[in-house]
């Protein structure tokens, strides 16, 4: 069965290999320096974000009009912005927002997309066609444009950003989940199991899930990275979380008219984004190397 | 010894002459094209129907009114009317028109044109937004070709001020037959006439028989043409100025930080003038708990207007009340003498405690077309929080803002209101219970009475006293919050000489500007 | 292969049709009266509203409305921009060249940077250099494009003044200045894609390098350079071509942010302004156009890919 269009991905069978039916290895030992580095960064960032209320020296919306555009150092670790708000505190709060939105969005896509993909792969026939053709239509839209359109309909804000990014990512997860499911379904042992009276649920759990979880896991990590970039792009364009609650992309945007007065309000949040995205990318690459180097990962 | 003194004196005098020769000695050069950059598209050039600021910037040069405002002193001066008299009862104005003023088609400007103009504005078929300003007019009579008599229904103090400005520009008789589509074609008496129109670029060329001359008797204007170019993005507009593609930007496009940055660039000159426009926090007076005077007063006491001036305007703004501080002849009261103007968080908290058990939740809507509005909203939110106000910022697009503003569907909003040199024009329509832009639903008998008195009293000294009482009343009753009168900036290339930035942001001074080439 | 080609081409109109259906339905999902949306909020004249309702058949059932709308689009009647009153076709015709040029420029830069970088990384033996290049590549993928663009502006336009700020002459008017002024935005767009290309080239080369026939070539006595040129590159590049195609498609949609940062008057920026100004007819046209271009590009990429390597089967 060929797909109508393929917007962003190479076929999963480049190497033409067979899926494995063995359970993936019990939690991989971190032999990959990449994965270790990535995980370390992420753990640090997540901790910072979760504990931001306690470790931030100031409230993120608190203004100090006398100290506007202060350079890093002294009282303000990374300096202050147009209103005299501490950049470090805002970045911590922004991390929380970005991570929350990214994980909720990817979680949504994983759940909905994964389910749709497995359903399509396992049920086959008309159901498969219907689901995958719908996914293809979604795939036809450039990613950012689709998200923007959804936000336009639903209105800007945190909740709609989660939904927009989530919806855009659903087709990717659907496609990732479908492939291994299809192959598993054709296997002899599945036929055998069914003839012995095994329920669909049991087959799904015992054979399908182990085979889709690895690629889904790697894809999740990669998509978390792009989701953060995505969310920050949306908030940069003014379509994400609304002021005064800090969001990293919006902070970069706010600082732009005043670059000549002080570059820090723009430079610092951008670096903060890069750090956490780097963490996810390292982790995703590391996982891919560890778990299945043959995996083709959808990048966009 | 004496020779030495004389030599020194001579040298000194020569040096003095040489130094002044640098700028004042330069004579205006005729010719050239002055290019003005603006951010808003030009949609309508009918002087009596247009409402957009961009339209008026063009209209300033194409149409003229009976009187004009001196750009520097903001005083009324003769324009198409050479002189005028007012009857003692204030109901009859007689204007002597200047001879020698012509429209762009060569015909003389005379009294019949003035009558036609005012009749056109008042005609319901024209649907002119200027009609409400001229509502007190009972009748216009052309006594002789160069004398016009206007009688009013009642004494109306701001009448002469209304006769300035392009919205009341004089058009020729049978304007609508001579000009098929007044939105995109013009026929005025101003220094420039329309040559080419598009919504993103307008070209005006010199009116060769323009009546005004400079001090040396040279006929104005100097430049051959003025072009308006629309560049919607302010940063791009400023880049065009630096690149030499535009000669002048006024107001929108040059805010405080941009002005600061541009003032260090060689080849660019930055001017500033105190603005008549003011930033405000609009309040819906009929919504609970804002309908409680104590809550409104608490809001006024919790806001630190000076801090807003420091943060949002980098200090280039004045804290003031209902009367613009630059209009000294109206003796605007300093903030210290206005009730509820000096920040007092303790008192604010007390009032909120009494009126609303210590907590008031409000939503504020900043106007999206003015970047400072969102910044003010953010500062405001922080300032009033300790007093018990929980303010949520709601950003909407302009169409929604406009709709909600018109129908008073808001708790609070932050915006910029245009100002005027006459206190009545500045205040009446916003604050009087019958005011056309009183979206605040404010009603107070004392304030209404003072506004009516101020409008109908012709004696200046008495008017000053009335408006002084009114300022106190307004600050006491808080229909909405007056915040700051910021400076307005203009950036121009040094090749452009003779342009004076006025608090009204008028483009009219371009008639006396020239390009050094 | 013939069959595959035919299949894809035959399916194309169906894809475009469904895309247009989605774009059309957006107008009806947005809260508010569609007639008002089409006319713009400032115009509340009931006569005009009625006219719009008639012209677009807004009181007819939805499928009929869709047919009417589609008919107009296919005839080239894209409508009028609510904000400026200018014909939408004209607005788009002015904006499209910038977006296309930017995408092409960025593609060229991404390939020109990515492939050599990937080849170099793929042939380097030293472990530390390899790790450094990997880190570099990952960094390129992690930096947000709007940030990269802003920093480039700060350093090269504001501080060093090498590049003009925010003025873009058209290619036909002043080609040299046009290419110079678009260099920074094209570079910004190119960075993550160059990184992706470099990474894939490196992986491909590493995979190929360990293959038998390469070792045979070395055994035969070919120099390193000759080996690279003759064998490794050609085989390593096959999957890369697809990636390039993907990149091309992505560039079209991803240019919104870069156009905004650099204030380039392209389609992305036009679309964004249409959203802000609630100019829905313009927004519809832009989304439809960009998506159509995207679909066509992807189709072309798929076809090229199949031509290059007919061994590939599709699941």
A182: three-class secondary structure by DSSP: helix
pLDDT at C273: 81
pLDDT computed for residue C64 by the predictor: 82
Reading chain B (517 residues) residue by residue, the pLDDT tens digits are: 455 555 555 555 555 554 444 444 578 889 999 999 998 888 889 999 988 888 999 999 999 999 999 999 999 999 999 999 999 999 999 999 999 999 999 999 999 999 999 999 999 998 888 888 899 999 999 999 999 999 999 999 999 999 997 899 999 999 999 998 898 899 999 999 999 998 778 999 999 999 999 888 899 999 999 999 988 778 778 888 887 889 999 988 898 888 988 888 889 999 999 999 999 999 999 998 999 999 999 999 999 999 999 999 989 999 989 999 999 999 999 999 999 999 999 999 999 999 999 899 999 999 988 889 999 999 999 999 999 999 999 888 777 788 889 889 999 999 999 899 999 999 999 999 998 889 999 999 999 999 999 999 999 999 999 999 999 999 999 999 999 999 999 999 999 999 999 999 999 999 999 999 8
pLDDT more than 70, % of chain C: 73
Between CA B379 and CA B391 the distance in angstroms is 11
Other CB atoms closer than 10 Å to residue C13's CB: what's the count?
9
What pLDDT, on the 0 to 100 scale, is given for residue B192? Answer: 96
Alpha carbons C80 and C64: distance in angstroms, whole number: 21
Q: Please, which pLDDT band fits residue A14 given cuts at 50, 70 and 90?
A: very low
Q: Determine whether the interchain pair C150/A8 forms a contact, defined as Cβ–Cβ distance below 8 Å.
A: no
Contact partners, residue A299, CB within 8 Å, separation at least 6: A8, A222, A226, C196, C246
Most confident of A149-153, A235-239, C143-147, C266-270: C143-147
pLDDT at C73: 82
What SS3 string covers B208-240? CCCCCECCCCCECCCCCEEEEEECCCHHHHHHH
Instruction: Give the largest Cα separation in chain B, rounded.
Output: 87
Give the pLDDT confidence of C157-197 residue by residue, as tens digits: 777 777 776 677 777 778 888 888 899 999 998 888 888 88
3-state secondary structure of C271: helix
Residue A26: predicted pLDDT: 39
Cα–Cα distance, A238 to C261 (Å, whole number): 13
Residue keyed to tokens 């409400």 = B132
Predicted local confidence at residue A16, as pLDDT: 35
- Higher model confidence: residue A288 or residue A108? A108
Candidates A3, A152, A262, A275: best to mutate against C (most CBs of C within 10 A) is: A152
3-class SS at B266? coil
Q: Counting beta carbons within 10 angstroms of the beta carbon of residue A249, is it exposed (0 to 12), middle (13 to 18) or buried (19 or more)?
A: buried
Residue in C85, C165, C278 closest to B199 by CB: C85
* Cis check: omega of the bond before B221, within 30 degrees of 0: yes
User: For position A137, what pLDDT does the model report?
Assistant: 84
- Facing residues of B228 across strands? B36, B202
Out of A168-177, C41-50, C71-80, the most confident range is A168-177
Maximum Cα interatomic distance, chain C, rounded to a whole number of Å: 85
Which chain B residues have a beta carbon less than 8 Å from that of C83? 41
Is the per-residue pLDDT at A30 higher than 70? no
Q: Answer for the pair A265, C286: CB distance below 8 angstroms, yes or no.
A: no
**Whether the predicted pLDDT of A10 surpasses 60:** no
Vertex C90: Cα angle to C84 and C92 (nearest 5): 95
Residue A6: pLDDT band with limits 50, 70, 90: very low
Q: What is the mean pLDDT of residues A37-64?
A: 88
Which residue numbers of B have CB closer than 8 Å to A's CBs? 235, 257-258, 260-261, 307, 310-311, 371, 374-375, 378-379, 381-382, 393-395
- For residue C188, CA distances in Å to B270, B333, C109, C151 come to 33, 54, 10, 10
The predicted pLDDT at position B40 comes to 83
Mean pLDDT to the nearest integer, A198-217: 80
Contact between C41 and B399 using a beta-carbon 8 Å cutoff? yes
How many of the other CB atoms lie within 10 Å of CB of B138?
11
**Window A:45-64, CB contacts with B under 8 Å:** 61-63
Count of pairs with CB atoms under 8 A, one residue in B, one in C: 36
Q: Which residues of A101-115 are buried (b: 16+ CB within 10 A; e: fewer)?
A: bbbbbbebbbebbbe
Q: Beta B248-250 vs B33-38: how paired, if at all?
A: parallel
> Of A62, A63, A237, A255, which to mutate for an interface test with B (greatest number of B Cβ within 10 Å)?
A63
**Interchain pair B393, A244: CB under 8 A:** yes
pLDDT at res. B247: 95
- Best B181, B239, B253, B264 residue to mutate vs chain C (most C CBs within 10 Å): B239
Does C212 score more than 80 pLDDT?
no
Task: Provide mean pLDDT across the span A244-250.
Answer: 86
Q: Assess whether pLDDT exceeds 50 at residue A8.
A: no
Its pTM stands at 0.80
For residue A248, what pLDDT is reported? 92
Residues of A within 8 A of C147 (CB-CB) are 252, 266-267, 269-271, 273-274
Place of tokens 């293809």: A136
- What gap in Å lies between CA A248 and CA A239, rounded to an integer? 13
> Tokens 């003035």 — which residue?
B114
Residue with the bigger pLDDT between C135 and B31: it is B31
CB B207 within 8 A of CB B192: yes
Q: Tell me if A278 and C275 make a contact (CB, 8 A cut-off).
A: no
Please answer whether residues C43 and C83 qualify as being in contact, where contact means their C-beta atoms are separated by less than 8 angstroms: no
Q: Which chains touch B (3 or more CB pairs under 8 A)?
A: A, C
| Highest mean pLDDT pick, A131-140, B202-211, C23-32 | B202-211
Cβ–Cβ contact A242 with B under 8 A: yes
Contacts of B41 in chain C (CB under 8 A): 83-84
Q: Which two tokens stand for residue C43?
A: 């115009």
Give the nearest partner residue to A13 out of C272, C295, C315, using CB atoms: C315
Q: B229-268 burial string, b = 16+ CB within 10 Å, else e?
A: bbbbbbbbbbbbbbeeebbbbbbbbbbbbbbbbbeeeeeb
Main-chain dihedrals φ then ψ at residue B195, nearest 5 degrees: -110, -45
Packed helices A158-186 and A125-140: angle between N→C axes, nearest 10 degrees: 140
């Amino acid at each position: 069965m060929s797909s109508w269009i393929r917007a962003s991905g190479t076929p999963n069978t480049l190497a033409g290999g067979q899926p494995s039916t063995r359970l993936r290895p019990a939690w991989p030992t971190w032999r990959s320096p990449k994965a270790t580095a990535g995980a370390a960064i992420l753990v640090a960032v997540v901790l910072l974000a979760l504990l931001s209320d306690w470790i931030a020296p100031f409230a993120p919306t608190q203004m100090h009009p006398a100290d506007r555009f202060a350079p890093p150092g002294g009282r303000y670790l990374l300096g202050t912005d147009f209103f005299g708000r501490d950049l470090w505190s805002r970045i911590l709060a922004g991390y929380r927002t970005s991570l929350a939105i990214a994980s909720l969005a990817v979680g949504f896509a994983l759940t909905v997309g994964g389910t749709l993909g497995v359903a399509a792969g396992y049920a086959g026939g008309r159901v498969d066609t219907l689901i995958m053709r719908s996914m293809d239509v979604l795939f036809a839209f450039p990613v950012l444009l689709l998200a923007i359109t959804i936000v336009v309909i639903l209105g800007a804000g945190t909740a709609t950003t989660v939904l927009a990014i989530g919806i855009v990512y659903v087709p990717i997860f659907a496609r990732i989940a479908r492939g291994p499911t299809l192959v598993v379904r054709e296997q002899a042992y599945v036929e055998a199991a069914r003839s012995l009276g095994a329920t669909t649920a049991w087959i799904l759990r015992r054979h399908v899930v182990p085979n889709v979880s690895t690629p889904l896991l790697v894809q999740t990590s990669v998509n978390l990275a792009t989701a953060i970039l995505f969310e920050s792009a949306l908030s940069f364009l003014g379509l994400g979380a609304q002021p005064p609650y800090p969001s990293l992309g919006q902070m970069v945007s706010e600082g732009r008219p005043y670059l000549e007065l002080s570059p820090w309000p723009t430079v610092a949040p951008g670096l903060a984004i890069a750090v956490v995205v780097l963490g996810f990318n390292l982790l995703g690459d590391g996982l891919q190397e560890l778990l299945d180097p043959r995996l083709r990962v959808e990048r966009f | 010894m004496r020779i030495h003194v004389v030599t020194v004196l001579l040298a000194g005098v020569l040096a003095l002459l040489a130094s002044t020769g640098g700028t004042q000695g330069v004579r205006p050069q005729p010719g050239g094209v002055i290019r003005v950059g603006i951010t808003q598209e030009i949609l309508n050039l009918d002087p009596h129907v247009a409402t957009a600021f961009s339209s008026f910037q063009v209209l300033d040069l194409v149409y003229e009114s009976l009187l004009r405002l001196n750009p520097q002193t903001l005083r009324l001066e003769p324009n198409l009317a050479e002189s005028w008299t007012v009857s003692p009862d204030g109901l009859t104005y007689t204007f002597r028109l200047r001879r020698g003023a012509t429209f762009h088609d060569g015909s003389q400007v005379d009294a019949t044109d003035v009558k036609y103009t005012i009749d056109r504005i008042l005609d319901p078929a024209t649907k002119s937004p200027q009609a409400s300003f001229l509502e007190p007019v009972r009748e216009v009579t052309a006594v002789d070709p160069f004398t016009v008599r206007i009688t009013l229904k009642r004494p109306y103090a701001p009448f002469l001020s209304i006769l300035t400005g392009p919205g009341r520009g004089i058009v020729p008789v049978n304007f609508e037959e001579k000009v098929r589509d007044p939105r995109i074609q013009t026929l005025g008496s101003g220094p420039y006439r329309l040559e080419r129109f598009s919504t993103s670029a307008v070209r005006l060329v010199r009116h060769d028989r323009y009546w005004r001359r400079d001090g040396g008797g040279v006929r104005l204007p100097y430049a051959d043409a003025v072009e308006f170019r629309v560049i919607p993005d302010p940063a791009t507009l400023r880049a065009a100025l630096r690149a030499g593609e535009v000669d002048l930007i006024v107001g929108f496009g040059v805010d405080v930080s941009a002005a600061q940055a541009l003032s260090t660039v060689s080849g660019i000159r930055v001017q500033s003038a105190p603005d008549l426009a003011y930033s405000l926090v609009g309040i819906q007076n009929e919504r609970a708990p804002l309908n409680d005077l104590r809550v409104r007063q608490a809001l006024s006491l919790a806001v630190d207007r000076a801090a807003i001036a420091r943060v949002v305007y980098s200090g280039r703004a004045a804290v003031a009340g209902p009367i613009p501080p630059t209009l000294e002849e109206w003796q605007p009261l300093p903030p210290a003498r206005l009730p509820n103007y000096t920040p007092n968080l303790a008192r604010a908290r007390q009032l909120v405690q009494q009126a609303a058990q210590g907590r008031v939740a409000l939503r504020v809507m900043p106007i999206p077309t003015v970047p400072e509005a969102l910044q003010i909203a953010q500062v405001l939110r922080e300032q009033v929080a300790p007093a018990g106000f929980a303010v949520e910022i709601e950003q909407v697009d302009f169409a929604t803002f406009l709709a909600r503003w018109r129908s008073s569907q808001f708790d609070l909003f932050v915006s910029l209101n245009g100002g005027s040199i006459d206190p009545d024009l500045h205040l009446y329509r916003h604050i009087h219970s019958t005011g056309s832009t009183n979206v605040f639903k404010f009603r107070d008998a004392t304030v209404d009475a003072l506004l009516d008195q101020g409008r109908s009293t012709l004696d200046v000294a008495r008017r000053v006293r009335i408006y002084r009482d009114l300022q106190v009343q307004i600050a006491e009753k808080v229909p909405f919050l007056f915040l700051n009168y910021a400076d307005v900036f203009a950036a121009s290339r040094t090749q452009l000489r003779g342009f004076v930035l006025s608090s009204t942001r008028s483009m009219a001074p371009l008639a006396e500007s020239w390009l050094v080439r | 292969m013939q069959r595959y080609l035919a299949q894809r081409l035959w399916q194309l109109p169906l894809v475009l049709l469904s895309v247009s259906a989605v774009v059309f339905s957006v107008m009806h999902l947005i809260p508010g009266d569609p007639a008002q949306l089409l006319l713009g909020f400032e115009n509340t004249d009931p006569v005009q509203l009625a006219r719009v309702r008639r012209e677009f058949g807004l009181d007819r059932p939805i499928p009929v409305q869709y047919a009417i709308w589609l008919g107009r689009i296919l005839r080239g009647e894209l409508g009028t921009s609510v904000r400026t009153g200018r014909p939408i076709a004209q607005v788009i015709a002015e904006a499209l060249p910038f977006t296309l040029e930017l995408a092409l420029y960025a593609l060229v830069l991404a390939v020109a940077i990515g492939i050599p970088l990937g080849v170099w990384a793929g042939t380097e033996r030293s472990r530390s250099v390899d790790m450094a290049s990997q880190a570099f590549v990952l960094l390129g993928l992690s930096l947000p494009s709007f940030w990269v663009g802003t920093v480039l502006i700060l350093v090269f336009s504001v501080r060093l003044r090498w590049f003009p700020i925010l003025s873009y002459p058209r290619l036909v008017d002043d080609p040299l200045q046009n290419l110079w002024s678009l260099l920074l935005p094209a570079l910004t767009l190119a960075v993550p894609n160059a990184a992706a290309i470099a990474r894939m080239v490196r992986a491909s080369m590493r995979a190929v390098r360990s293959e038998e026939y390469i070792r045979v070539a070395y055994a035969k006595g070919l120099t390193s350079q000759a080996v690279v040129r003759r064998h490794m590159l050609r085989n390593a590049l096959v999957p890369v071509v697809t990636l390039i195609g993907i990149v091309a498609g992505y560039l079209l949609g991803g240019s919104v942010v870069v156009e905004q940062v650099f204030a380039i008057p392209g389609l992305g920026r036009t679309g964004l302004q249409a959203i802000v100004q609630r100019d829905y007819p313009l927004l519809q046209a832009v989304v439809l156009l960009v998506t159509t271009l995207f679909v066509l590009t992807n189709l072309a990429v798929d076809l090229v890919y199949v031509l290059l390597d007919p061994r590939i089967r599709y699941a």
